[in-house]
Amino acid sequence: MENKHLGNPTNTREIIDKYGFMFQKRFGQNFLIDGNVVEKIVREAGVTKDDFVLEIGPGIGTMTQLLCENAREVAAVEIDTNLIPILKETLAPYDNVTVINEDILKVDIPALAQEKNGGRPIKVVANLPYYITTPIIMGLFESHVPIDSITIMVQREVADRMQVGPGTKDYGALSLAVQYYAKPEIVLNVPPTCFMPRPNVGSAVIRLKKHETCPVKVDDAEFMFRLIRASFNQRRKTLANGLSNSSELTLSKEKIAEAIESLGVSPSIRGEALTLEQFAQLANYFTRNK
Report the 10 Å Cβ neighbour count for 250: 7
Q: Closest Cα to residue 68, out of 78, 53, 80?
A: 53
Do residues 3 and 93 make contact, with C-beta atoms less than 8 angstroms apart?
Answer: yes
pLDDT computed for residue 24 by the predictor: 82
What CATH topology corresponds to 9-210? Rossmann fold (3.40.50)
Write down the pLDDT at residue 33.
Answer: 97
* pLDDT on residue 3: 56
Which of 53, 56, 52, 15 is CA-nearest to residue 33? Answer: 15
**pTM, 2 dp:** 0.92
Let me know: does 80 contact 16? Beta carbons within 8 Å. no
153 CB-near residues (< 8 Å, 6+ apart): 32, 41, 126, 127, 128, 190, 203, 204, 205
Q: How far, in Å, CA of 47 to CA of 68, rounded?
A: 10
**Could you tell me the residue ranges of all domains in the chain?**
9-210, 221-288
Task: Name residues of the chain where pLDDT drops below 70.
Answer: 1-3
Instruction: Please tell me the predicted confidence (pLDDT) of residue 1.
Output: 42
Question: What's the pLDDT tens digit per position in 29-71?
Answer: 999 999 999 999 999 999 999 999 999 999 999 999 999 999 9
Please give the helix or strand (H or E) that residue 62 lies within, else none. helix 62-70
Mention the CATH class of domain 221-288. Answer: mainly alpha
Q: What does the pLDDT read at residue 2?
A: 47
